[in-house]
Structure 1
């Protein structure tokens, strides 16, 4: 067994997602399993270099996990010829400049989304990376969730017949930060820092809809800041300038309609934090993070509207669970492994910076739709 090392500069690992999902549950998990098997007796071994502004925080993480390399000088890291990949999980407002530096340094790129603060910047990144001949990928983790993988299996198997509509519900109550600590960082609620649920979640909905049901062709959105005052990590009050809730309607290529509500100011009354109901002529499904339930037309009951009588049966009990039929790994890790195989073996990989730009485009058009009070077309992007 031969080991092939790939060195990854990981910028933003002191943040929640960068640390938990990308460092611990992806890169370190790959190391714990002995590396990524490439075939032919070769194993790819990821070697992370932790990058950020706070050296003490980086060193604490490194010591906790038996790592040795930390850096606060991004330019010096990118100038190091031994670095193969640059990964970015910083705040959105800092991402575009760092990615451009990595492209100029000839590093392969893997990055969280959104890739830039506006469509022009996102497309510029995609063009620069393509012209430079480097490999580039954007995190699109929800495609690898067990619930959505089961949903994809149903679609591929023709379960739905003609798909008519998709209804999505995402969100939970994020505490304001005064009497209980908030579960999300305060910058998420300041538009000047790149915050807002539209710029955070519409890129997710773009790739979920695009990959599973068809390209988004129009968008109509209403956004709100339902909780206008919050408290930051130091306990200081601040005005929430970014939207915390968004209500979108998306027309899809092929005729289906998607409605998705996204909110950090809603209390959960569903089985999972995100659920998608898909209705088709032959059957329906409700998919969440892990589970998926179905109701075929042959087993669909015939309810009758009668408000004068109490409901005598549980509608939820009339649905059937879709079995796992497979082992499902962490979604972030699964996509990391595909990207690393793309780097090492040149295997196909299409979740690139152009795909990331489509997400930025949908968020930008969603905010514009709200501002102008009208439905907007979503032009197809190309380099």
Structure 2
């Protein structure tokens, strides 16, 4: 059994606690560690890092973690800690990642990697110069529904993909009753909030990995709710976008349109759905499920608003069964990154890939501001 220290910075937040600590690192520990190719077993030993001693102590106790600290430099100086993970607010992430790279730690981060494309590329170049493993969370690729969609695409059942239509979002309450289910910083631009910066990095890697690189974007957005109530019960002014409506031109000619909204009420099976139309069939994928309609099973629809529609369209879709064990998407990618660090297994989700997500977010914001289509040039570190 080999033990490796993992510095986990910013995991007192909802996502860091639930997905990265509880359902990933603690889950790996509970399963007895991670078995490598050479049959040795690695046990991750997390060090919880943050600013609030009370929160850290309580979190460590709740999840059975022995080590926690408020001192980043001390954690980085410990040679047993070979990986640095960052789930802090976007606005403060870059400084800590720079320090971790300087200390020759392998670095894994939540997205977006940084608040700007320039900062993201600087981190990518620094990681390359340091010669350390680096990666960013791209969890949507490992969701059961997206994995099933990837299988469908690989089978050729859809033929040539023509278009992608995405719907994401739900109603986030303004508070105080019921309280908001997202943190207040999400709605403050000055703190790195906004649905474009939050969600466009997701759309970039989903579209690129399934359908083709994004070549251009047209976007408009809104700050729909002007005031909300924060965690302390105080009313604040919203300065960040809470809804974005974007069209993406993809490599290969397909068009994708995705609505992202925290001010919509859900009338679909899942909070995220992608509807993909191809020459030979169509597919609809959510977080967990995927349905298909091949050309031979496509009903012949006829426009006639004068009579009730005789076709029950939803009945002609076929559900894709699960063929592999469905695991937590964050845990799957954590295990991939650990294997990348420890046995040099492939890991394509690098800082450079993360920079592409920030590039798309910046292009979306610029398109909204200038009311223009924005082209996305290919990124390189040289």
Distance 1:179 1:10 in 2: 33
1:314 Cα deviation from its structure 2 partner: 2.3
Question: What is residue 330 of structure 1 aligned with on the other side?
Answer: 328
Q: TM-score, normalised by structure 2?
A: 0.99
Distance 2:138 2:301 in 1: 38
Aligned partner of residue 180 in structure 2, secondary structure: coil
Question: What is residue 280 of structure 2 aligned with on the other side?
Answer: 282
Distance 2:357 2:38 in 1: 37
1:351 Cα deviation from its structure 2 partner: 0.3
1:310 Cα deviation from its structure 2 partner: 1.3
Aligned partner of residue 331 in structure 2, secondary structure: helix
- Which of 237, 244, 247 aligns to 2:245? It is 247
RMSD of aligned Cα (Å): 0.7
Q: Structure 1 stretches of 5 or more lacking a match?
A: none
Question: What is residue 196 of structure 2 aligned with on the other side?
Answer: 198
Q: Structure 2 stretches of 5 or more lacking a match?
A: none
Question: What is residue 11 of structure 2 aligned with on the other side?
Answer: 13
Distance 2:37 2:77 in 1: 31
Aligned partner of residue 159 in structure 2, secondary structure: coil
Deviation string for 1:263-321 (max 9, x for gaps)? 00000000000000000000000000000000000010011111111123321111000
- Which of 259, 262, 265 aligns to 1:264? It is 262
Question: What is residue 340 of structure 1 aligned with on the other side?
Answer: 338
Q: Does 1:31 find its partner at 2:29?
A: yes
1:155 Cα deviation from its structure 2 partner: 1.0
Q: Does 1:45 find its partner at 2:28?
A: no
Distance 1:178 1:67 in 2: 34
Question: What is residue 81 of structure 1 aligned with on the other side?
Answer: 79
Q: How does 1:1-383 map to 2 (within 5 A)?
A: 3-383=1-381
Distance 2:64 2:210 in 1: 40
Distance 1:307 1:168 in 2: 26
1:44 Cα deviation from its structure 2 partner: 1.0
Count of aligned positions: 381
Deviation string for 1:76-96 (max 9, x for gaps)? 211222210000001111101
Distance 1:176 1:360 in 2: 27
Aligned partner of residue 24 in structure 2, secondary structure: helix
Aligned partner of residue 36 in structure 2, secondary structure: strand
Distance 2:115 2:72 in 1: 20
Deviation string for 1:327-361 (max 9, x for gaps)? 11100000000000001101111100000000000
Aligned partner of residue 238 in structure 1, secondary structure: strand
Aligned partner of residue 84 in structure 1, secondary structure: strand
Distance 1:135 1:67 in 2: 25
Distance 2:264 2:39 in 1: 51
Point out the more displaced range, 351-360 or 30-39.
30-39
1:202 Cα deviation from its structure 2 partner: 0.1
Distance 2:146 2:17 in 1: 24
Distance 1:156 1:163 in 2: 12
Aligned partner of residue 219 in structure 2, secondary structure: strand
Q: Runs in 1 of length 4+ with deviation above 3 angstroms?
A: none
1:39 Cα deviation from its structure 2 partner: 3.2
1:176 Cα deviation from its structure 2 partner: 0.2
Distance 1:276 1:208 in 2: 10
1:151 Cα deviation from its structure 2 partner: 0.5
Distance 1:281 1:66 in 2: 53
